[in-house]
Amino acid sequence: MSSLRDQAYLKTRVGIFAGRLLTPESVERYKSMSLNQLAEAFDLLPIIEETLEPRQKSRLIEQALLHRMMSELSVLLRPLSGRTRGLMLYWPRKFELYNLKTLIRGKLNDLGMEEIRDNLHDLPENIRLPHESLLQAENVLEMLRQLDQGPYAMIARQARHVYEEQNESFSLDAAIDRLYYTGMLRHINMANSIDKRGLHKVIGIMIDRQNILWLLRYRLVYRFSPSEAYYLLISAGGRIQRDTLMELANLEGLQAIIGHLPAPLRQILGEANNITQVRQRLDHHVSDELQKLMRHSQDAVVSALSYMIARDMDLMRLYAIIQGKLLQMDPALIDQAIPDNALTDSSGVNV
Amino acid sequence: MFSPLPIKHISLQVLTDDLPSASLILAELSCFSPDPRPYAEQALPEVPGHSFRHLYNQARTRLEKIVSQVDFELTSDNHEAGPINEEELERVNEWLGTAWETCSGFEEASRIHLEERRNIDQLESSLANFRNLNIDLGQLQGSAGFLETHIGMVPRSQVNQLSDALGLDGYLLFPFMESESDTHVVIVGAGDRETSKLKPVLDTAGFRALDIPPELQAEPEAAKTQLDQRRDAVEVESQKLAEAIHAWGKVSRQELEQAAHTVHLATPYVALGEAARHRGDLSRLQGWVPNEDIALVERSLHEKLSNPFVIETRDPTPDERPLVPSVMRHNRLLSPFSALVTQYGVPRYGEVNPTHLFALTYILMFGMMFGDVGHGAVILGATLLLRRKLGTFTAFGIAAGLSSILFGFLYGSIFGYEHVLHALWIAPLTNPLYMLTVALLWGIGFITIVTLLNIINHLLQGDRLGALFADNGLLSLLLYLGLLGTGYSFYSTGSISGFWATLTILTLIGIFAHKLIEQEASIGERILVAFIETFEAITGYVSNTLSFLRVAAFSLNHVALAIAVFTLANMMGDTGHWITVVLGNVFILVLEGLIVAIQVLRLEFYEGFSRFYSGDGKAFKPLTL
Distance CA B553, CA B428 (A): 9
Instruction: Please classify residue B79 by burial: count the beta carbons closer than 10 Å to its beta carbon, then call 0-12 exposed, 13-18 middle and 19+ buried.
Output: middle
Cβ-nearest to B157 among A154, A171, A246: A154
What is the residue range of A92's domain? 80-192
Tell whether the model's pLDDT for residue A2 goes beyond 60.
no
Q: Which residue of B has its CA nearest to A249?
A: B168
Half-sphere exposure of A85 (CA within 13 A, CB side): 11
- DSSP per residue, A184-216: HHHHHHHS--S-HHHHHHHHHHHHHHHHHHHHH
Per-residue pLDDT tens digits for B356-376: 999 999 999 999 999 999 999
Cβ-nearest to B164 among A139, A153, A242: A242
Per-residue pLDDT tens digits for B484-529: 999 999 999 888 889 999 999 999 999 999 988 888 878 888 888 8
Q: Which residue of A has its CA nearest to B170?
A: A227
Instruction: Please classify residue B327 by burial: count the beta carbons closer than 10 Å to its beta carbon, then call 0-12 exposed, 13-18 middle and 19+ buried.
Output: buried
What are the domain boundaries of chain B?
A: 1-42+280-325, 47-125+229-272, 126-228
Looking at per-residue pLDDT, the higher value among B147 and B215 belongs to B147
- Quick one: pLDDT at residue B329? 84
Contacts of B204 in chain A (CB under 8 A): 170-171, 174, 228, 231-232
Distance CA B366, CA A169 (A): 65
pLDDT band with cut points at 50, 70 and 90 for residue B194: low
pLDDT band with cut points at 50, 70 and 90 for residue B419: confident
Report CA Rg, chain A. 21
Contacts of A186 in chain B (CB under 8 A): none
Amino acid symbol at B605: F
Q: Are A225 and B203 a contacting pair at CB < 8 A?
A: no
Report the SS3 class of residue B233: helix
**Worst-scoring range by mean pLDDT, A250-259, B148-157, B249-258?**
B148-157
Q: Is A222 on the interface with B (CB under 8 A)?
A: no
Per-residue pLDDT tens digits for B286-329: 999 999 999 999 999 999 998 999 999 999 988 888 889 998 88
Decide: B202 and B122 in contact? Cβ < 8 Å. no
Nearest C-alpha neighbor of A261 from the set A283, A238, A288, A293: A238
Same fold, B1-42+280-325 and B126-228: yes
Distance CA B158, CA B182 (A): 9
Average pLDDT over residues B191-203: 76
pLDDT band with cut points at 50, 70 and 90 for residue B215: low
Q: Which residue of B has its CA nearest to A224?
A: B200
Q: Is residue A177 domain-shared with residue A245, that is, in the same domain?
A: no
Q: Is residue A98 domain-shared with residue A175, that is, in the same domain?
A: yes
Distance from CA of A171 to the nearest CA of B (A): 6
Residues 98-127 of chain B with CB under 8 A from chain A are 100-101, 104, 107-108, 111
Contacts of A157 in chain B (CB under 8 A): 155, 206
Looking at per-residue pLDDT, the higher value among B74 and B13 belongs to B13
Q: Which residue of B has its CA nearest to A161?
A: B206
- Quick one: pLDDT at residue B56? 94
Residue A224: inside a domain: yes
| Sequence-separated (6 or more) residues with CB below 8 Å from residue B366 | B400, B403, B404, B596, B597, B600
Per-residue pLDDT tens digits for B17-28: 899 999 999 999
> To 10 degrees, what angle do helices A275-296 and A300-326 make?
140
Average pLDDT over residues B43-58: 88
pLDDT band with cut points at 50, 70 and 90 for residue B125: confident
Distance CA A308, CA A76 (A): 9
Q: Is A246 on the interface with B (CB under 8 A)?
A: yes
Instruction: Please classify residue B194 by burial: count the beta carbons closer than 10 Å to its beta carbon, then call 0-12 exposed, 13-18 middle and 19+ buried.
Output: exposed
Distance, C-alpha B371 to centroid of its chain: 31
CA-based end-to-end distance of chain A: 17
Looking at per-residue pLDDT, the higher value among B505 and B115 belongs to B505
Q: Is residue A98 domain-shared with residue A177, that is, in the same domain?
A: yes
Cβ-nearest to A228 among B100, B157, B201: B201
Distance CA B52, CA B181 (A): 45
- Hey, of A227, A234, A247, which one would you mutate to test binding to chain B, going by the most B CBs within 10 A of its CB? A227
pLDDT band with cut points at 50, 70 and 90 for residue B1: low
Q: A240, A261, A281: which is the final residue of a domain?
A: A281
Distance CA B120, CA B523 (A): 81
Per-residue pLDDT tens digits for A116-165: 888 888 877 766 777 778 888 888 889 888 888 877 887 888 788 778 77
pLDDT band with cut points at 50, 70 and 90 for residue B222: low
**CB pairs under 8 A, 24+ apart, for B330-333?**
B330/B355, B332/B392, B332/B395, B333/B395, B333/B399
Report the SS3 class of residue B309: coil
- Hey, of B172, B197, B202, B204, which one would you mutate to test binding to chain A, going by the most A CBs within 10 A of its CB? B204
Q: Is residue A84 domain-shared with residue A188, that is, in the same domain?
A: yes
Nearest C-alpha neighbor of B78 from the set B252, B261, B251: B261
Q: How many structural domains comprise chain A?
A: 2
Cβ-nearest to A145 among B111, B157, B164: B111
Q: Is residue A110 domain-shared with residue A179, that is, in the same domain?
A: yes
Q: Is A244 on the interface with B (CB under 8 A)?
A: no
Decide: B22 and B14 in contact? Cβ < 8 Å. yes
Cβ-nearest to B204 among A139, A228, A235: A228
Nearest C-alpha neighbor of B483 from the set B497, B469, B468: B497
Q: Is residue A186 domain-shared with residue A211, that is, in the same domain?
A: no
Distance from CA of A131 to the nearest CA of B (A): 14
Helix (H) or strand (E) holding B279: strand B276-279
| Sequence-separated (6 or more) residues with CB below 8 Å from residue B378 | B401, B589
- Quick one: pLDDT at residue B295? 94
Decide: B585 and B558 in contact? Cβ < 8 Å. no
- Quick one: pLDDT at residue B75? 61
CA-based end-to-end distance of chain B: 26
Per-residue pLDDT tens digits for A320-337: 889 888 888 877 777 776
| Sequence-separated (6 or more) residues with CB below 8 Å from residue B511 | B469, B475, B476, B479, B534, B537
Q: Is the peptide bond before A24 cis (omega within 30 degrees of 0)?
A: no
CA–CA distances in Å: residue B489 to residues B435, B437, B440, B486, B505: 21, 16, 16, 5, 15
Distance from CA of B58 to the nearest CA of A (A): 8
* DSSP 8-state code for residue A166: T
Q: Is residue A176 domain-shared with residue A229, that is, in the same domain?
A: no
CA–CA distances in Å: residue B194 to residues A1, A347, B130, B213, B451: 57, 63, 24, 19, 88
CATH number of B126-228: 3.30.70.2750
Distance CA B102, CA B241 (A): 12
Residues 433-492 of chain B with CB under 8 A from chain A are none
Q: Are A226 and B204 a contacting pair at CB < 8 A?
A: no
Contacts of B100 in chain A (CB under 8 A): 138
Average pLDDT over residues B572-590: 92
Q: What is the mean pLDDT of chain A?
A: 84
Percent of chain B with pLDDT over 90: 54
Q: What are the phi and psi torsion angles at B323 (to 5°)? A: -95, -10
Half-sphere exposure of B625 (CA within 13 A, CB side): 21
Q: Is A252 on the interface with B (CB under 8 A)?
A: no
Residue A7: inside a domain: no
Residue A143: inside a domain: yes
Residue A337: inside a domain: no
- Quick one: pLDDT at residue A345? 34
Q: Which residue of A has its CA nearest to B54?
A: A114
pLDDT band with cut points at 50, 70 and 90 for residue B132: low
Per-residue pLDDT tens digits for A231-246: 989 888 889 999 999 9
* DSSP 8-state code for residue B361: H
Distance CA B466, CA A326 (A): 56
pLDDT band with cut points at 50, 70 and 90 for residue A166: low
Tell whether the model's pLDDT for residue B143 goes beyond 60.
no
pLDDT band with cut points at 50, 70 and 90 for residue A1: low
Residue A215: inside a domain: yes
Tell whether the model's pLDDT for residue A13 goes beyond 70.
yes
Whether pTM exceeds 0.80:
no
H and E: helices and strands count for chain A? 19, 0
Contacts of A225 in chain B (CB under 8 A): 169, 197, 200-201
Q: A166, A192, A218: which is the final residue of a domain?
A: A192
Nearest C-alpha neighbor of B322 from the set B348, B342, B347, B341: B348
Tell whether the model's pLDDT for residue B550 goes beyond 90.
yes
Instruction: Please classify residue A144 by burial: count the beta carbons closer than 10 Å to its beta carbon, then call 0-12 exposed, 13-18 middle and 19+ buried.
Output: buried
- Quick one: pLDDT at residue A97? 86
Distance from CA of B169 to the nearest CA of A (A): 6
Distance CA A233, CA B256 (A): 50
Query: What is the fold, at CATH topology level, of the domain defined by B1-42+280-325?
Result: Alpha-Beta Plaits (3.30.70)
CA dihedral B578, B582, B587, B589 (to 10 degrees): 140
- Quick one: pLDDT at residue B213? 59
Q: A281, A308, A332: which is the final residue of a domain?
A: A281
**Worst-scoring range by mean pLDDT, A88-102, A118-132, A301-315, B246-260?**
A118-132
Distance CA B111, CA A272 (A): 50
Distance CA B432, CA B332 (A): 38
Decide: A117 and A134 in contact? Cβ < 8 Å. no
Q: Which residues pair with B151 in a beta bridge?
A: B186
